[in-house]
């Protein structure tokens, strides 16, 4: 073949290849080629299943940890979030010796209120008994006599009691609160007193805090048959003494509650109905002289020297019962708090899966004991009394401890924001400032632990502290955005993620991110940045005078935020997470790859089936493609007026977003904001598609509950005496489908309550209907937006390919005409085959152009 002919043939095939590429690219965007996209997605999804240990023959492999770092080079093993929680070791408060002084302080303050309340109560009772002008009965006479005797007791005895010792000797034996101030260890036991059993009761190590004195206490109690009732104090042989780990703030609260409860129960202590004397049994009337203190003839109680002795004995019994009740209630509450937490079962939105959902419960014992750092926003006026003044006033009001802690301290805890650190106590021990810190779980308020730690008030200068706090807020904000992308609030309850694998992968990704930021390379770079800015003279001056040097301060703070973000981004892009087979192949993923692959797996599932013809793990795609659900989708969208939504289109858009997320996860020079925004887009799509299944289940349940009762149904026409036929029968459901509606214990309890109280049902139904409408609106809005964006993107893509095809067609036509023109002008002989190929190219490009136009207007 001649050289000129070869050149012309090569140019023709080049044009043909360009045209073919444009046609194929355009076809990928048409609604008729979904299987092509899915094939590409399935090949990508296969990588996830391979990483999780899937065998080539489809057999189920041995289970592996969903996220396990490589064991080499000191890598950390991911903890099992559902492993049994070890009980934390209790510690004695460093300022335990101050507890007794705190009790005396609270006693002094509260006794004034109690005495005032008792005086008013006694005078009110006497006044009420004096109002009735009816001739007095023996019972009323006895009540009046006793009320005035109690008033005399108040004036001569009770009003003069101001200390613990005086109260104890008078029968007000405050054993429970005193025990927690005197005993470093305690044990739980049972006390039987006056025929009543109190359990559990906290008992100290010595008299009277072990309550043993009650076994020989007076008076002697008798049952209704006159038989003596013995008081008993018992402890379980297997029980052991535990360290009194009560913090100072907790103790102050305990004592305050104790005295406030005492004030509320004065009437039961002083005027217990069975303690009122009975005429002829407890007293007789003597007319020898008048007793001015009582205002009646000299009436003495039987077997007592005077009424004060009678009342002292009765009050001693009632107060002892009060003390035991307070002890019992306190330790019952403690036992409830220490019960193993049974979290709610995770709610998977999708129908019945091949594996049971497991809750993800982080272990509070794994949370590190962080050092409290002074808030850089504090001013010199906050330190008027010096550090000792701060410590001295810390426990002045137990209700303000949490507020004070937030004002004075912060903790370097930017990722585990589910856990809240609170300084509950400050004390000085051996010349050091000691803080007692409480770690509490926002998702489970009963889960908490305490630790003591040294506080260095002078660890950082104000500018150094300000720099670190600015970096911390940036750090925390990044992870809060990641949590927000997965619809998690500050409680970080992973069980709200509606997919078993995804919730566990998210937990593991966060854990491994924490470990990445504990590496020396990161801490060195983090500390260097903080020191560089914190020690800068200009920054120090700006922090000292933020009003005048606001611009300078903002410039430095922005520098800190930008560099902190860059530092965190660099370490999140470092490869360090390995799963499944990747451990053997040493193929770790970045934080972003890990999340993107997990999301893609939750959306597409596994592309292959087992020998039985079923998928090993059912995910969103498999359920959406299930023919059983198609009529349910159609019926649901018709009932909620959303027939414009095409799930095949919205899911196709979601699959494309997932693909783009995976591509983005392996790219550098992508901002944190863009990565998180893309994750949010993909997760929102997954969440809302999965929510369709839950909404269908809820609607079916609500519709069945709202059906009229059997007796309310309209009678059938008399013509045939048959019930009206259902022209739109509900599709039959299998056992698996019956499990699609996830029952919630709380909802079940509400339904029982509504059944017992019919008046509550309408309001509850309206509330459920409102909640359903809110969820439905959110889901439908997102799906419509996704569908609209898909159409918009398709139109723009088709427009591009149409222009590209047109240009190619023009180029091919020009090339063909050029060949013919050149051959005629220069009289060059060109083979007929080349001319035919050039003509075919022109025709193909024109056909491609016309086809794309027809696709754009929806004809084909």
- Structure confidence by residue, pLDDT tens digits, 636-680: 889 889 889 888 888 888 999 999 999 999 888 899 999 999 999
Structure confidence at residue 245 as a pLDDT band (50, 70, 90): confident
Q: From CA 685, how far away is CA 694, in angstroms rounded?
A: 15
Per 3-state DSSP, the chain is made up of helix, strand and coil in percentages (nearest 5) of 60, 10, 35
**Pairwise pLDDT comparison (22 vs 321), residue with the higher score:** 321
Report domain extents, the chain: 96-338, 364-572
Identify the pLDDT of residue 742: 34
Structure confidence at residue 36 as a pLDDT band (50, 70, 90): very low
**Pairwise pLDDT comparison (629 vs 83), residue with the higher score:** 629
**Neighbouring residues of 233: CB distance < 8 A, sequence distance ≥ 6:** 189, 190, 191, 192, 203, 210, 211, 212, 214, 215
Q: From CA 161, how far away is CA 163, in angstroms rounded?
A: 6
Please compute the mean of the pLDDT values over residues 819-847 and round it to a whole number.
70
CA-wise closest residue to 468 among 476, 574, 440 = 476
Structure confidence at residue 370 as a pLDDT band (50, 70, 90): very high
Q: Are 67 and 582 in contact (CB under 8 A)?
A: no
Q: Are 293 and 309 in contact (CB under 8 A)?
A: no
Q: Give the per-residue SS3 of 469-510.
A: HHHHHHHHHHHHHHHHHCCCCCCCCHHHCCCHHHHHHHHHHH
Query: Coil, strand, or helix at residue 586?
Result: coil
Per-residue pLDDT of 99-144, as tens digits, reads 999 999 999 999 999 999 999 999 998 888 877 655 567 777 788 8
Q: From CA 72, how far away is CA 585, in angstroms rounded?
A: 12
Please compute the mean of the pLDDT values over residues 156-161 and round it to a whole number.
95
Helix segments in 306-451, DSSP class H? 307-338, 386-393, 401-408
Is the pLDDT at 760 greater than 60, yes or no?
no
Reported as half-sphere exposure (CB side, CA atoms, 13 A), residue 41 has a value of 26
Q: From CA 79, how far away is CA 631, in angstroms rounded?
A: 43
Please compute the mean of the pLDDT values over residues 536-547 and round it to a whole number.
93
Is the pLDDT at 12 greater than 60, yes or no?
no
Reported as half-sphere exposure (CB side, CA atoms, 13 A), residue 237 has a value of 0
Structure confidence at residue 269 as a pLDDT band (50, 70, 90): very high
Per-residue pLDDT of 62-108, as tens digits, reads 333 333 333 333 344 455 555 544 555 677 888 888 899 999 999 99
Identify the pLDDT of residue 516: 84
Per-residue pLDDT of 414-426, as tens digits, reads 999 999 999 988 8
Identify the pLDDT of residue 87: 52
Q: From CA 851, how far away is CA 662, in angstroms rounded?
A: 32
Query: Coil, strand, or helix at residue 848?
Result: helix
Q: From CA 428, how far away is CA 435, in angstroms rounded?
A: 9
Please compute the mean of the pLDDT values over residues 391-401 and round it to a whole number.
72
Identify the pLDDT of residue 144: 85
Q: From CA 471, how far away is CA 156, in angstroms rounded?
A: 66
Q: How far is CA 229 from CA 224, 323, 747, in A?
A: 10, 20, 48
Is the pLDDT at 732 greater than 70, yes or no?
no
**Pairwise pLDDT comparison (779 vs 536), residue with the higher score:** 536
Structure confidence at residue 321 as a pLDDT band (50, 70, 90): very high
Structure confidence at residue 14 as a pLDDT band (50, 70, 90): very low
Query: Which of the residue ranges 344-358, 420-434, 839-853 would you say has the lowest mean pLDDT?
Result: 344-358
Is the pLDDT at 721 greater than 60, yes or no?
no
Reported as half-sphere exposure (CB side, CA atoms, 13 A), residue 100 has a value of 9
**Neighbouring residues of 48: CB distance < 8 A, sequence distance ≥ 6:** 597, 598, 600, 601
Is the pLDDT at 792 greater than 80, yes or no?
no
In the DSSP assignment, the letter for residue 120 is: H
In the DSSP assignment, the letter for residue 344 is: P
**Pairwise pLDDT comparison (611 vs 522), residue with the higher score:** 522
Identify the pLDDT of residue 465: 95
When mean pLDDT is compared over 39-43, 335-339, 409-413, 735-739, the highest value belongs to 409-413
Q: Return mean pLDDT, the chain.
A: 76
Is the pLDDT at 343 greater than 80, yes or no?
no
Q: How far is CA 753 from CA 625, 709, 761, in A?
A: 39, 19, 9
Per-residue pLDDT of 296-317, as tens digits, reads 445 778 888 888 999 999 999 9
Identify the pLDDT of residue 347: 55
Query: Which of the residue ranges 56-65, 226-235, 536-545, 804-813 would you say has the lowest mean pLDDT?
Result: 56-65
Structure confidence at residue 398 as a pLDDT band (50, 70, 90): low
Is the pLDDT at 707 greater than 80, yes or no?
no
Name residue, tokens 């005895």. 157
Is the pLDDT at 532 greater than 90, yes or no?
yes
The backbone torsions φ and ψ at residue 396, rounded to the nearest 5 degrees and listed phi first, read -65, -30
Q: How far is CA 563 from CA 65, 318, 416, 525, 543, in A?
A: 35, 68, 22, 10, 19
Is the pLDDT at 231 greater than 60, yes or no?
yes
């Amino acid at each position: 073949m001649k050289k000129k002919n070869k050149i012309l043939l090569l140019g023709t095939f080049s044009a043909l290849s360009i045209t073919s590429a444009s046609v194929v690219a355009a076809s990928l965007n048409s609604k008729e080629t979904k299987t092509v996209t899915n094939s590409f997605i399935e090949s990508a999804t296969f990588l996830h299943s391979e990483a999780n240990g899937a065998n080539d023959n489809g057999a189920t492999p041995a289970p592996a940890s969903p996220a396990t770092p490589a064991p080499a080079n000191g890598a950390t093993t991911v903890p099992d979030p559902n492993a049994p929680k070890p009980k934390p070791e209790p510690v004695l408060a460093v300022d335990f010796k101050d507890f007794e002084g705190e009790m005396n302080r609270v006693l002094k303050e509260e006794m004034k209120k109690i005495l005032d309340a008792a005086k008013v109560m006694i005078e009110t009772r006497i006044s009420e008994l004096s109002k009735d002008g009816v001739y007095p009965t023996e019972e009323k006479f006895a009540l009046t006599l006793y009320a005035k005797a109690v008033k005399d007791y108040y004036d001569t005895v009770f009003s003069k009691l101001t200390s613990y010792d005086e109260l104890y000797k008078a029968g007000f034996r405050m054993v429970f609160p005193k025990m927690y101030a005197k005993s470093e260890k305690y044990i739980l036991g049972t006390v039987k007193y006056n025929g009543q059993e109190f359990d559990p009761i906290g008992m100290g190590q010595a008299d009277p805090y072990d309550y043993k004195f009650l076994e020989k206490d007076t008076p002697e109690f008798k049952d209704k048959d006159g038989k003596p009732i013995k008081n008993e104090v018992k402890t379980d042989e297997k029980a052991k003494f535990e360290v009194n780990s009560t913090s100072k703030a907790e103790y102050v609260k305990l004592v305050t509650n104790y005295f406030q409860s005492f004030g509320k129960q004065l009437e039961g202590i002083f005027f217990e109905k069975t303690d009122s004397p009975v005429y002829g049994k407890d007293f007789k009337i003597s007319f020898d002289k008048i007793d001015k203190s009582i205002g009646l003839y000299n009436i003495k109680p039987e077997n007592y020297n005077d009424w004060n002795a009678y009342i002292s004995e009765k009050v001693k019994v009632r107060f002892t019962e009060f003390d035991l009740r307070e002890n019992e209630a306190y330790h019952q509450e403690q036992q409830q708090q220490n019960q193993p937490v049974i979290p709610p079962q995770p709610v998977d939105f999708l129908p019945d899966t091949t594996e049971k959902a497991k809750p993800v419960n982080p272990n509070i014992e794994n949370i590190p004991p962080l050092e409290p750092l002074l808030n850089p926003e504090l001013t010199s006026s906050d330190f008027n009394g010096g550090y000792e003044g701060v410590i001295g006033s810390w426990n002045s009001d137990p209700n303000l401890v949490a507020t004070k802690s937030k004002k004075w301290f912060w903790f370097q805890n930017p990722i585990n924001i589910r856990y809240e650190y609170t300084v509950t106590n400050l004390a000085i021990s051996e010349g050091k400032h000691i803080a007692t810190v409480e770690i509490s779980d926002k998702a489970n308020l009963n889960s908490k632990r305490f630790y003591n730690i040294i506080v260095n008030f002078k660890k950082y200068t104000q500018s150094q502290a300000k720099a670190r706090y600015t970096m911390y807020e940036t750090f925390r904000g990044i992870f809060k955005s990641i949590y927000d992308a997965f619809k998690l609030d500050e409680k970080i309850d992973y069980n709200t993620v509606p997919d078993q694998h995804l919730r566990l992968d998210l937990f593991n990704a966060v854990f491994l991110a924490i470990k990445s930021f504990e590496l020396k390379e990161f801490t060195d770079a983090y500390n260097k940045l903080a020191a560089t800015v914190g020690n800068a003279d200009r920054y120090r001056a700006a922090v000292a005078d933020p009003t005048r040097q606001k611009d300078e301060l903002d410039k430095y703070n922005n520098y800190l935020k930008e560099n902190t973000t860059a530092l965190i981004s660099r370490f999140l892009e470092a490869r360090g997470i390995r799963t499944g087979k990747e451990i053997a192949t040493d193929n770790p993923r970045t934080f972003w790859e890990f999340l993107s692959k997990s999301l893609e797996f939750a959306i597409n599932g596994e592309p292959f089936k087992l020998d039985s013809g079923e998928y090993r793990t059912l995910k969103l795609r498999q359920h959406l493609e299930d023919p059983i659900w198609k009529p349910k989708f159609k019926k649901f969208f018709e009932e909620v007026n959303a027939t414009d939504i095409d799930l095949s289109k919205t899911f196709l858009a979601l699959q494309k977003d997932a693909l783009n997320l995976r591509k983005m996860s392996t790219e550098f020079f992508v901002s944190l904001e863009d990565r998180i925004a893309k994750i949010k887009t993909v997760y929102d799509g997954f969440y809302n598609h999965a929510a369709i299944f839950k909404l269908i289940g809820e609607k079916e349940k609500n519709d069945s509950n709202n059906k009229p009762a059997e007796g309310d149904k309209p009678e059938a026409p008399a013509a045939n005496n048959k019930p009206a036929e259902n022209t739109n029968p509900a599709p039959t459901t299998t056992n698996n489908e019956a499990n699609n509606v996830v029952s919630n214990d709380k909802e079940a309890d509400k339904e029982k309550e509504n059944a017992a109280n019919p008046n509550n049902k309408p309001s509850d139904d309206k509330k459920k209907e409102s909640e359903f409408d809110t969820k439905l609106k959110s889901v439908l809005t997102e799906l419509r937006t996704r569908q609209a964006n898909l159409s918009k993107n398709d139109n723009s893509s088709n427009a591009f390919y149409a222009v590209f095809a047109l240009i190619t067609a023009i180029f091919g036509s020009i090339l063909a005409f050029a060949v013919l023109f050149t051959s005629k002008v220069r009289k060059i002989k060109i083979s007929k085959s080349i001319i035919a190929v050039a003509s075919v190219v022109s025709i193909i490009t024109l056909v491609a152009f016309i086809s794309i136009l027809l696709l754009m207007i929806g004809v084909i």
